[in-house]
Chain A
Amino acid sequence: MLLIPCPFCGARDETEFAYGGDAGVERPTDPEAATDEAWTDYLCFHDNPKGPHRELWFHRDGCRRWLEVERDTWTHELGAVRLSRP
């Protein structure tokens, strides 16, 4: 079980968090102007790398902040943990 160092609460068990997926996915600023293809890419087609991955974790049972966590999907090693869009 991961131990995620929350910048507010300290190191906490993974069970306190909710997973939020790829942190690198940008919402199109003008959805109406996006083509169907661009919009579907944004919705469904995300990378699934083996190795380093930037992803969102929500500290649900703690400070309730969405965090951006660098995690190696192969080793589960964590890198930097920071606020998402501080």
Chain B
Amino acid sequence: MRRQPFRAAEGGHLIDRTEPLRFDFDGHRHEGYRGDSLASGLLAAGVRIVARSFKYHRPRGVWGFGPEEPNAMVTTGVREEARPNLKATEVPLSEGLEAFGQNAWPSVSWDLGGAAGLAGGLMPAGFYYKTFMAPARWWPALYEPLIRRMAGFGPAPSAPDDAFYAKRRIHADVLVAGGGPAGVAAALAAARAGARVVLADENVRFGGDLLRAPGEIDEGDGLDWIDTAVAELEAMSHVRLLRRATVAGYYDHNLLTVAERPGGEAPAGAPAARLWFVRARDVVIAAGAHERPLLFDGNDRPGVMSASAAGGYAHAYGVLAGRNAVVAGNNDSIYRVARLLRSAGVGIAAVADTRSGGDIRDLPCRAGGTVERVLGSRRVRGVLLRRADGRAGDKGERIACDLVAVSGGWSPAVHLHAQARGSLGYNEERGLILPDRPGGANRSAGAAAGRFDLDGCLAEGWTAGVAAAASSGHERPAGEPPRSPDRSAWEAPVFWQTGGGKRFVDLQYDVTAADVDLAAREGYRSVEHVKRYTALGMGTDQGKTSGMAGLVLLSEALGRPVARTGTTTFRPPYTPVPMAAMASGLIGEGRDALRRTAADDWHEARGALFTAAGLWRRPRYYPREGMDEEEAISAEVRETRAGVGIVDVGTLGKVDIQGRDAAAFLDLLYANRMSSLKTGRGRYGLMLREDGRVFDDGVVMRLGENHFYLTTTTAHQHEAMQHIELLLQTVWPELEVYATDVTEHWFAAALAGPGSRALLGRAAPELDLSDDAFPMMAVRAATVAGLSALVFRMSFSGELSYEIAVPADQGLALWTRLLTEGREDGLTPYGTEAMGTMRIEKGHVTHAEADGRTTPDDLGLGRMVRAEGPGIGKRSLELPALRRKGRQQLVGLSVIDGEARIPPGCQVVESDDMKPAPPLGHVTSFCYSPTLGRALALALVENGRARTGQTVYIASPMIDLSMAAEIVSPVFYDAQGTRLHG
């Protein structure tokens, strides 16, 4: 037997017969040619059953030619390379391609689930809602696995997909969606006018409908004209052509997404899929039209196919979708298809035209005839034809055939127009839903606007291209639009159906005409509700073939005009976009910019384990030989408290504030007074939100009369700067203040511990470090380790401590010189864990405590707030809700069992009986304190300060854990602060 029994001896402009390709479908080896789609390859091989339907598991064949395909859903590849839910019409054939039909086990041609089809009628509209209702306990064990197995749309890949996916963002004057005659004419007109044009088409070759059937343009072959035009466009530097690229989404302000899937054997380095974001001044929607089905009994049998697709397989691929065809429809396009099939070598058994009169001598016409029923159970063996007018006594005519090519007219692809919130109108006379008023700068042209004749498409496309280019100021190009003698309009004003039997409306979701009727009888009126109740149009084809049929059936059942029923909402994407393309750039390495401090290289060389702090990475701790994590962190704490440690604080937000009104502004920005600061001194400050909650904290240093330097937390540096700019620009624009984010300009390191004075004394010999000359919260300019620096005396650890800031490019030098200088002091670098442990021991708050709900008083910082003055947030502190009794307050929790450790996410409760009860509060921060030899926590507890001395329980019901703890002051260590002086 020939390997491609259904390949015509010649023909097929998309294939290269010199390059055969082998591929597997459901484990069987087949052969096709370079240029084939999987669908054309399967048809050429004689494979007719390519999938099973979703609900009834009925055998299904290829129906369409492109993205409208409802049936031929396949998975390509296995395991981690499995790509489910692809349409065979859109998968390019490649050497060694492995593909599998979906919704069937063990294979599409022998499917056990097909038993559901034998019991057809048992699964009416709303089947899932009605059947899987109760009892609820049956869900996990019975219903869910059953539905999942029966309804699966192919297997998910079993491992991460390591293929390369990409995104690109571009601007264009004109985006043309669709590269058929109208689209190419539009692109040509706009590009010749000088506009920057992007032309995208879903196929590998431009041409649109001309790929499926020949046509004449400018006295020559239509496809030749297209090729010449495309070559002209390709040569223009201001034009970008995208092939196998579907304009999928139309968003606000003319942002459109284009999903490009090179597919097949894409060149090395090309992404498996790429999502383009095109911001276009104007858009020409030349998306074409989708052929409608005819409704008759058995219209889902393999062998029943869209007429234009059947013709297209013959013309584009030299593939015969059958040996002997009945062509049936309600419009003139069926004659074109019949001739195409005949010239490719398909026998034409009959051409049934529902309209009377259209008798054509050279074809076996049945004017006024239609298909009533398909004969054959697994595939088409023949049809029963009847007179369309239902004349009495008509016994019908049985005709043997293996292909039924049907055309119920054409539905313009109004999706993009509607996504852009353009309005739609129903043209009763023509039976078409057409674009009405556009939403945004776009225009529809060609079949997408209801023009079905080639000449009209060319003219309309050209005009649209000229107008779209004019939007960006480009003048009309020279030359005339291309012309065609083809002025045949495929009007199909009457929606056609025959009564009775299994008439499928939505092939993908197995929705029949009877289901739509039933939904109407059960009281559904809204087309949106019917869609959800019956699942009509909810498949991956999104009702491209079924939408119009459903709409007409519902309107008939409800006895109202189609225009009143309206359409469901068109939402992006027009065709499925691979999740991996959407996720590109949003996952994994490279998702965020990585900020490294000036000393990062040193931390890395030292083997630090890092943690993320905003975009920064900071050392968590420095692992030590023979120590576990807690021991290594505890060592860092102990050595700092006993000697001297150093920590990289380069990540803190830093803001330089200058100007005549700088001091006055800081009084408004902070809840406490800053204008009273003396030059050379600093103060801890609290920033509130206008609603009175603590927003951020940091230190403000006065460097001069009108010059301040302030720090923000690492976490809120961007928000704090934005907040400052909001106040300066919108609330107090009259103040003369200049705020500059200098976070990147400065590196800073803190020396902490009783040994810090001696070490700094050697590094900065001219600096007087005595308490009198350099008291707490003072700032001095000095030379440190040979570098010009600012030195602040402040402490987060509770020890004597100095923060040294130098310009960022000298940060690494400062760090390494201090480390070298400190060798004799036993200087210990410590990370965020040790820093956090020491701050918990001292009861300092961070964003775990200032969580956006707490006031200064809640945090025990109420005394810092200056009573008078118009500062941000202070008025809110007077509101009753923020003053009421019973608010949660910051407390310390000292765990009684010295061996216990606190897990994350704990509640604070009154009893240890583990019974559900409202918690008193929750743990905000916790650590093991090597200084006190036990676990400590900071917590927000209802009326917390009044409970000091009480025993409460730290509980984590999820892991059945409860431990007793005493409520104490949050300052666990050195409450008098004597250690600050070394």
Contacts and interface: CB of A to CB of B under 8 A. Distances in A.
Given A56-B730, A85-B729, A2 B875 contact: no
Given A3-B255, A30-B870, A32-B870, A40 B879 contact: yes
B585 to A, nearest CB: 12
A84 B874 contact: no
Contacts of A56: 726, 730
A20 B421 CA distance: 26
Interface in A35-76: 36, 39-40, 43, 56, 58, 60, 64-66, 75-76
A64 B875 contact: no
B253 A2 contact: yes
Nearest to A64: B725
Interface string B718-762: 100010011001110100000000000000000000000000000
B725 A66 contact: yes
A66 B722 CA distance: 9
A20 B726 contact: yes
Interface residues of A, number: 29
B691 interface: yes
A85 B731 CA distance: 8
Given A58-B726, A85-B729, A85-B730, A1 B875 contact: no
B251 interface: yes
Given A36-B878, A40-B879, A31 B870 contact: yes
A36 B279 contact: no
A32 B870 CA distance: 7
Nearest to A26: B731
A85 B735 CA distance: 12
A21 B439 CA distance: 26
Contacts of B626: none
Contacts of B252: 1-2, 76
Given A1-B255, A36-B878, A43-B876, A65 B279 contact: no
Nearest to A76: B252
Contact of B730 (A31, A43, A66, A76): A66
A43 B877 CA distance: 13
B253 A1 contact: yes
Contacts of B722: 18, 58, 60
A3 B280 CA distance: 11
B631 interface: no
A86 B733 CA distance: 8
A31 B880 CA distance: 16
A32 B252 CA distance: 43
Interface string B390-419: 000000000000000000000000000000
Interface in B857-895: 868, 870, 874-876, 878-880
B893 to A, nearest CB: 33
Nearest to A28: B875
A76 B690 CA distance: 29
A43 B730 CA distance: 16
Contacts of B870: 30-32
A75 B255 contact: no
Contact of B874 (A13, A28, A31, A65): A31
A36 B879 contact: yes
Nearest to A60: B722
A75 B875 contact: no
Contact of B421 (A13, A36, A58, A75): A75
B763 to A, nearest CB: 37
A2 B879 CA distance: 38
Contact of B691 (A43, A60, A75): A43
A34 B875 contact: yes
B730 A84 contact: yes
A39 B876 contact: yes
Nearest to A65: B729
Contact of A31 (B421, B439, B733, B875): B875
Contacts of A30: 870
Nearest to A85: B733
A46 to B, nearest CB: 13
A6 to B, nearest CB: 14
A43 B253 contact: no
Interface in B229-267: 251-255
Nearest to B691: A43
A66 B739 CA distance: 14
A78 B440 CA distance: 12
Contacts of A85: 729-730, 733
Nearest to B719: A18
A40 B880 CA distance: 11
A3 B729 contact: no
Nearest to B734: A85
Contacts of B691: 43
A2 B876 CA distance: 34
Contacts of A83: 729
Interface string B413-453: 00000000100000000000000000100000000000000
A84 B733 CA distance: 9
Nearest to B878: A36
Contact of A32 (B253, B279, B875): B875
A18 B252 CA distance: 17
A85 B729 CA distance: 7
Contacts of B279: 3, 13
A33 B407 CA distance: 77
A45 B439 CA distance: 33
Contact of B251 (A1, A39, A66): A1
Nearest to B868: A32
A54 B816 CA distance: 53
Contact of A39 (B253, B421, B718, B879): B879
B875 A39 contact: yes
A55 to B, nearest CB: 12
Nearest to B880: A36
B253 A76 contact: yes
A65 B733 CA distance: 12
Nearest to A66: B729
Nearest to A30: B870
A60 B279 CA distance: 21
Given A1-B252, A30-B870, A31-B874, A84 B729 contact: yes
A45 B878 CA distance: 18
Contacts of A86: 733
Nearest to B718: A60
Contacts of B690: 27, 43
A53 B792 CA distance: 47
Which has the most chain A C-beta neighbours within 10 Å: B251, B729, B868? B729
A20 B733 CA distance: 16
Contacts of A65: 729
B41 to A, nearest CB: 40
Contacts of B880: 36
A56 B723 CA distance: 13
Contacts of A1: 251-253, 255
Contacts of B874: 31
Contacts of A3: 253-255, 279
Contacts of B253: 1-3, 76, 78
Interface in B300-341: none
Interface in A1-28: 1-3, 13, 18, 20, 27-28
A72 to B, nearest CB: 11
A39 B725 CA distance: 23
Contacts of A18: 722
10 contacts: A3-B253, A3-B255, A27-B690, A31-B875, A39-B875, A39-B876, A39-B879, A58-B722, A76-B252, A85-B730
Given A27-B731, A36-B879, A86-B733, 7 more contacts: A20-B726, A30-B870, A34-B875, A40-B879, A56-B726, A64-B725, A66-B729
Q: 5 smallest A-B Cβ distances: which pairs? A: A31-B875, A3-B253, A85-B733, A66-B729, A76-B252
Interface of B: 251-255, 279, 421, 439, 690-691, 718, 722, 725-726, 729-731, 733, 868, 870, 874-876, 878-880
Interface of A: 1-3, 13, 18, 20, 27-28, 30-32, 34, 36, 39-40, 43, 56, 58, 60, 64-66, 75-76, 78, 83-86
